[in-house]
Amino acid sequence: MDRTGIFDLLPEEHLFWDFSAPDKPVLLHLLANEVANRLPDVDADVLVDLIEEREAVQSTGIGDGLALPHAMVPGVAEPTLFLFRLRPAINYQSLDGAPVDMVLLLLSPAIGLRDHLRLLARVAQIVGRVNLLDRLRAAPAADVAHRILRGAEGPRAS
């Protein structure tokens, strides 16, 4: 990860704009199905179980309308991200009590907890930058959001 940006882990086809779900449990199942459609070695039911286990410890709704669920998942070969902009926002039992309208899902291989936590910290640091979430919320389409994220980390090392 030293020479690439964290959002190099987020291909444009992993962005979902104006995604909708009535509540958190349904959302988690829909997210898992979208992931399994794009990563055929990932079992949607296993992914939902892993995310729900993590949510039972503490909500990954970290505040300001953002949820950052994450899991180490069998069938994931390389760390990858998925971004879902929700319309409308839903109750996610966030730490600040605010509804969630942005979900950034981090999946890592089922080995390497240290690397997984390091990636999670980098993602949280970057999305916490001033105005980034507002810029993503204002993006009219996923391709625009993808460009915003790719530029969020500044210049890449060469």
* pLDDT tens, position by position, 106-155: 999 987 788 888 888 888 888 777 688 999 999 999 999 999 988 877 65
Tell me the C-alpha distance between 154 and 145, whole Å: 15
Rounded Cα distance between 101 and 98, Å, is: 10
Mean pLDDT of 28-44: 96
Residue 93 is predicted with a pLDDT of: 95
pLDDT of residue 117: 86
pLDDT beyond 90 at 39:
yes
What whole-number percentage of the chain has pLDDT above 90?
Answer: 73
**What's phi and psi for 139, nearest 5 deg?**
-65, 130
Catalytic residue of the set 14, 29, 70, 116: 70
Mean pLDDT for the chain overall: 90
Q: Read off the pTM.
A: 0.90
Catalytic annotation present for 146: no
Q: Does domain 6-151 have CATH number 3.40.930.10?
A: yes
Backbone Cα Rg of the chain: 15
Domain boundaries, the chain: 6-151
State the amino acid at position 79 in one-letter form. P
Nearest to 71 by CA among 24, 28, 8: 28
Tens digits of residue pLDDT in 60-90: 999 999 999 999 999 999 999 999 999 999 9
* DSSP H helices in 8-154: 24-38, 44-57, 113-127, 132-138, 142-151
pLDDT at position 122: 85
Burial code (b: 16+ CB inside 10 Å, e: under 16) for 83-99 equals bbbbeeebebebeeeee
